[in-house]
Chain A
Amino acid sequence: MNYITLKNNSSVSLKKIPVAPYSRFMEANVSIMSDNVNNHCVSYFGCPAGGKVRLFCAIAADETHDIYVSSALVNSSEELSSFAAHNPAFEKFEREIHENFGITYPDHPWLKPVRYSSDRADRPARVLNYPFFSSESEELHEVGVGPIHAGIIEPGHFRFICNGEQILHLEIQLGYQHRGIERLFLEKKKILQRSTLAESIAGDTAAGHSAAFVNLWEGLCGFVPDFGLMFQRTLALELERIAMHTGDLSAICTDIAYQLGSSVFGRLRTPVINYFQEWCGNRLAKGLIRAGKTNYQFTGELGSRLIELFDEYEPDFNEMSDRLFKSSSVLARLEKTGVVDIKSSRLLGVVGMAARASNNKRDIRSSHPHDMYEKLGHEPVIKYHGDVCSRSQVRREEISQSIAHIRELLKDIPPADNKRENLKSPDPDTFSISLVEGWRGEICHCAITGGKGELVSYKIKDPSFHNWLALALAVRNNEISDFPICNKSFSLSYCGHDL
């Protein structure tokens, strides 16, 4: 066997992960991916191992609910043949490995570093003269947007090649937000520091990333979370999804200058995030999710407040979304804009809500259920057209679905449990993986521990890491003035990508 089969949130001794020669490692992973369209790569990264680099590749199989983990040992000076030449879903992972370890892939389609930072193998390399696709044509023009954003969101550089108003090509360069999170995970030894770090990976997915972190950590420490903890985490994830989706619908309305939707959805988002404030003292749910314990017990009183909140939220939300998806001027903007068809969605390894809008059934909640999702019997919301309209409708239906899930959860609020054991220290020489469906899509955290149980590698993958390329391809042949609405419909994270 070239790989080992794991389940979500499980740990395995490093020795049990087979080390294959690179050529076999590559062949095995590329063929797993091509065997079944529902197999997708969740993480592929390198970890220094005694002067060499050990590459780990984790591929999730949605139908069997398994995760296939394999590894290979290579020298960083080696020239390797590229996975991406066979499957573009690996493109960015290999660029990251190239950036971190200096491994070169001569047959990689566009091998340039993922992030601008000194935090890479080739430190003296300058930011100036970064390669971009360019055009020699007299008729085409280039438009560079960013890295300073005109609005309030994060920095990123977008380089368009346009024919008049039409976009022929878009190249997205990120990395301006790089903070060295993965390195900080190794440097900061205290669990509280690490939990805080996990919450700061992407400010809009605090619950998602901290759920992934605590699931991983508890797995490493051999701690099985009880019903009360799982309940809280599921609730936080779904509330975060409702808040962010509502906020995004508001932002989509703002971008098409539909003031009514923009202000109504904007107003509806506020009580949801304020509820987090009521529950844990932070509107972004920071401090709520902690490994092996909770500082904010969920009470029956909080539960009835939440039901009250949804009783007010739902009628307004339904009325506004009915209006939104019936307004012809709105539909004229949303429909057939920024289309990602199912073929490219699978090819690029798109995840989460953006995948589900293209009839690509990627949902960790149903394929690799964690926390309470198995019990909830979650079924993903699927749309078929892959355009901005589908992505907005997925949001709308997921909000209703999340509210239904929460109402179901609230029927059985777990009693306070103060007899939790303390966390043990992590197992030595272990590989651990955790997948969580955040509001944006699949979040993957991987950890590897050394001989004394200390962390030697911590790998984070935000769903944005896959989806940025899909955005760049979705806007081709669209008008440049439709780019903002496409961008908003994907609603990707800059800092989650940049780490």
Chain B
Amino acid sequence: MISLILILTAAMFFSGIVIRARSIASGRKGPGIFQPVKDILRQLKKGSVFSDTTSIIFQIAPVIYFASILMGICIMPVGEYRGLISFDGDFVFFAYVLAAGKFFMIIAALDTGSSFEGMGASREALFSMLAEPAFFIIMGSLALLTGNTSFSGIFSTLKFGSHINIALGALTTFVLVMIAMIENSRMPVDDSRTHLELTMIHEVMVLDNSGFDLALIMHGVNLKFAMYGALIANLFIPGFGEYITILIFFAIQVIFAVTVGAIESFMARFRMNHNPQFIFILSSVSLLIFFAVLLVIGKFS
């Protein structure tokens, strides 16, 4: 239960910090860190407008998407605090619950019949699909390393002590940060600020959503960020006491958010056809981690 509360709290200010970091990097003061959440609250009070060409799928998709993310957060532990749901192999469940939410967003986008949204849906499906192997190889390697197959089992026994383990930790962090960027459709794969429909991925899929539905989707992004932030934080937390865990958790969320802001400030976005290449690199780095883990547990002796 505590992990759920921590992640929900982090989601309240995550986007705010990203925007603030970006503003400072471009020499502006920027809005307060709770501004994105205030915007979402304002959106929540509004009604939705539905196009005549859409069906029931378009109307239920945002709720399913939001629910899938909440479900994912319920599984996610924070250090010693287990998630609400925890069982052996829960990381597979985690990945596919999120995929189910995404699936509904994709068919909802196709449901609108707009050529833009169709393009966005096809891109989103492609990039998520390509990112999947990286996630599973990483989680599989960690499972192999610790001998556990549930999130809480893996993270409560994971310790990066020796040199090779530190290298492993660094690589894992890199891959997880990048997966988080891809899953959240952020730079360098997608640009959430662009106004150009032709270059959008995630944003173009939600062009037809409004009001309450849009608020759910927008807050879904915040929650997902905080969820991946928790996943990354878990790599560093184990073995500390209760209160320090919470401190480290928030510190890592803030560092993660600032990193996202910095990436979005100082580099240009990739060309669309370079994205698959980039995502494949993540898979190969994960394979590297996998072989390092095999080395550590002595399979190559």
Check B196 against A332 for contact (C-beta < 8 Å).
no
Check B198 against A484 for contact (C-beta < 8 Å).
yes
Check A257 against B191 for contact (C-beta < 8 Å).
yes
Check A479 against B273 for contact (C-beta < 8 Å).
yes
Check A332 against B199 for contact (C-beta < 8 Å).
no
A259 surroundings in chain B (CB, below 8 A): 22, 25-26, 264-266
Check B198 against A329 for contact (C-beta < 8 Å).
no
Query: CB < 8 Å: which of B26, B115, B194, B273 contacts A144?
Result: B115
Check B28 against A256 for contact (C-beta < 8 Å).
no
Q: How far is the CA of A332 from the CA of B271 in the complex (A)?
A: 7
Query: CB < 8 Å: which of B22, B196, B265 contacts A484?
Result: B196
B159 in the interface, Cβ–Cβ < 8 Å?
Answer: no
> Which B residues from 1 to 55 make CB contacts under 8 A with A?
22, 25-28
B274 surroundings in chain A (CB, below 8 A): 332
Contacts A258-B267, A327-B267, A480-B119: A150 and B196 contacting too (C-beta < 8 A)?
Answer: yes
Check B269 against A480 for contact (C-beta < 8 Å).
no
A154 in the interface, Cβ–Cβ < 8 Å?
Answer: no
B268 surroundings in chain A (CB, below 8 A): 253, 256-258, 327, 329-330, 332-333
Q: How far is the CA of A256 from the CA of B195 in the complex (A)?
A: 11
B26 surroundings in chain A (CB, below 8 A): 259-260, 262-264
> Which A residues from 126 to 168 make CB contacts under 8 A with B?
141-145, 150-151, 165
Q: What string of 1s and 0s marks CB contacts (under 8 Å) between A233-277 and chain B?
A: 000000000000000000001111111101110010000000000
B299 in the interface, Cβ–Cβ < 8 Å?
Answer: no
Check A257 against B264 for contact (C-beta < 8 Å).
yes
> Which B residues from 111 to 165 make CB contacts under 8 A with A?
115-116, 118-119
Check A484 against B199 for contact (C-beta < 8 Å).
yes
B116 surroundings in chain A (CB, below 8 A): 143
- How far is the CB of A380 from the nearest CB of chain B, in Å? 29
Q: How far is the CA of A14 from the CA of B232 in the complex (A)?
A: 79
Q: How far is the CA of A165 from the CA of B122 in the complex (A)?
A: 10
Check A479 against B272 for contact (C-beta < 8 Å).
yes
Check B271 against A257 for contact (C-beta < 8 Å).
no
Q: Is the interface on chain A under 10, 10 to 19, 20 to 34, or 35 or more residues?
A: 20 to 34
A494 surroundings in chain B (CB, below 8 A): none
A333 surroundings in chain B (CB, below 8 A): 268-271
Check A255 against B194 for contact (C-beta < 8 Å).
yes
B88 surroundings in chain A (CB, below 8 A): none
- How far is the CB of B175 from the nearest CB of chain A, in Å? 19
- How far is the CB of B152 from the nearest CB of chain A, in Å? 37
B194 surroundings in chain A (CB, below 8 A): 254-255, 257
A422 in the interface, Cβ–Cβ < 8 Å?
Answer: no
Check B28 against A257 for contact (C-beta < 8 Å).
no
Check A145 against B269 for contact (C-beta < 8 Å).
no
Check A329 against B28 for contact (C-beta < 8 Å).
no
Q: What string of 1s and 0s marks CB contacts (under 8 Å) between A470-495 and chain B?
A: 00000000011111100000000000
Query: Of all chain A residues, which has the CB nearest B196?
Result: A484
Check A263 against B197 for contact (C-beta < 8 Å).
no
Check A483 against B266 for contact (C-beta < 8 Å).
no
B61 in the interface, Cβ–Cβ < 8 Å?
Answer: no
Query: Of all chain A residues, which has the CB nearest B187?
Result: A257
B22 surroundings in chain A (CB, below 8 A): 259
Q: What string of 1s and 0s marks CB contacts (under 8 Å) between B186-202 and chain A?
A: 01100101111111000
> Which B residues from 183 to 239 make CB contacts under 8 A with A?
187-188, 191, 193-199
Contacts A267-B27, A484-B199: A332 and B270 contacting too (C-beta < 8 A)?
Answer: yes
Check A481 against B272 for contact (C-beta < 8 Å).
yes
Q: How far is the CA of A337 from the CA of B272 in the complex (A)?
A: 12
Query: Of all chain B residues, which has the CB nearest A337?
Result: B271
Query: CB < 8 Å: which of A142, A263, A329, A484 contacts B267?
Result: A329
Q: What string of 1s and 0s marks CB contacts (under 8 Å) between A329-343 and chain B?
A: 110110001000000
Query: Of all chain A residues, which has the CB nearest B200?
Result: A481
Contacts A257-B187, A260-B265, A263-B26: A143 and B115 contacting too (C-beta < 8 A)?
Answer: yes
- How far is the CB of B267 from the nearest CB of chain A, in Å? 4
Check B28 against A263 for contact (C-beta < 8 Å).
yes
Query: CB < 8 Å: which of A143, A145, A263 contacts B27?
Result: A263
Check A143 against B196 for contact (C-beta < 8 Å).
no
Check A255 against B196 for contact (C-beta < 8 Å).
yes
Name, among B118, B188, B267, the residue most crowded by chain A CB atoms within 10 Å (CB to CB).
Answer: B267
- How far is the CB of B163 from the nearest CB of chain A, in Å? 31
A260 surroundings in chain B (CB, below 8 A): 25-26, 265-266
- How far is the CB of B264 from the nearest CB of chain A, in Å? 6
Check B195 against A151 for contact (C-beta < 8 Å).
yes
A330 surroundings in chain B (CB, below 8 A): 268
Q: How far is the CA of A142 from the CA of B198 in the complex (A)?
A: 13
Check A479 against B271 for contact (C-beta < 8 Å).
yes
Query: CB < 8 Å: which of B115, B195, B267, B271 contacts A150?
Result: B195
- How far is the CB of A384 from the nearest CB of chain B, in Å? 22
- How far is the CB of B11 from the nearest CB of chain A, in Å? 24
Check B198 against A481 for contact (C-beta < 8 Å).
yes
Check A141 against B115 for contact (C-beta < 8 Å).
yes
Check B188 against A329 for contact (C-beta < 8 Å).
yes
B188 surroundings in chain A (CB, below 8 A): 329
Q: How far is the CA of A72 from the CA of B213 in the complex (A)?
A: 64
B193 surroundings in chain A (CB, below 8 A): 257
- How far is the CB of B219 from the nearest CB of chain A, in Å? 23
A482 surroundings in chain B (CB, below 8 A): 199, 271-272
Query: Of all chain B residues, which has the CB nearest A143?
Result: B115
Name, among B197, B269, B271, the residue most crowded by chain A CB atoms within 10 Å (CB to CB).
Answer: B271
- How far is the CB of A389 from the nearest CB of chain B, in Å? 12
- How far is the CB of A159 from the nearest CB of chain B, in Å? 11
Query: Of all chain B residues, which has the CB nearest A331?
Result: B268
- How far is the CB of B93 from the nearest CB of chain A, in Å? 33
Contacts A143-B119, A259-B25, A480-B119: A165 and B196 contacting too (C-beta < 8 A)?
Answer: no
- How far is the CB of A251 from the nearest CB of chain B, in Å? 11
- How far is the CB of B82 from the nearest CB of chain A, in Å? 39
Query: CB < 8 Å: which of B27, B115, B118, B198 contacts A483?
Result: B198
- How far is the CB of A155 from the nearest CB of chain B, in Å? 15
Q: How far is the CA of A349 from the CA of B65 in the complex (A)?
A: 52
Query: Of all chain A residues, which has the CB nearest B197?
Result: A150
- How far is the CB of A204 from the nearest CB of chain B, in Å? 19
A253 surroundings in chain B (CB, below 8 A): 268
A142 surroundings in chain B (CB, below 8 A): 115
- How far is the CB of A89 from the nearest CB of chain B, in Å? 29
13 A–B contacts, CB within 8 A, in A order: A141-B115, A143-B119, A165-B119, A165-B273, A253-B268, A255-B196, A259-B22, A260-B26, A260-B265, A332-B268, A333-B269, A333-B271, A337-B271
A residues contacting B by CB (< 8 A) are 141-145, 150-151, 165, 253-260, 262-264, 267, 327, 329-330, 332-333, 337, 479-484
What 3 A-B pairs come out closest when comparing CB atoms?
A263-B26, A257-B191, A257-B269
B residues contacting A by CB (< 8 A) are 22, 25-28, 115-116, 118-119, 187-188, 191, 193-199, 264-274
**Knowing that A143-B119, A263-B26 are A-B contacts, what are 16 other residue pairs whose CB atoms are under 8 Å apart, sorted by A's residue number?**
A150-B197, A165-B272, A165-B273, A253-B268, A255-B194, A258-B269, A260-B26, A260-B265, A267-B27, A329-B269, A330-B268, A332-B274, A479-B272, A479-B273, A480-B119, A482-B199
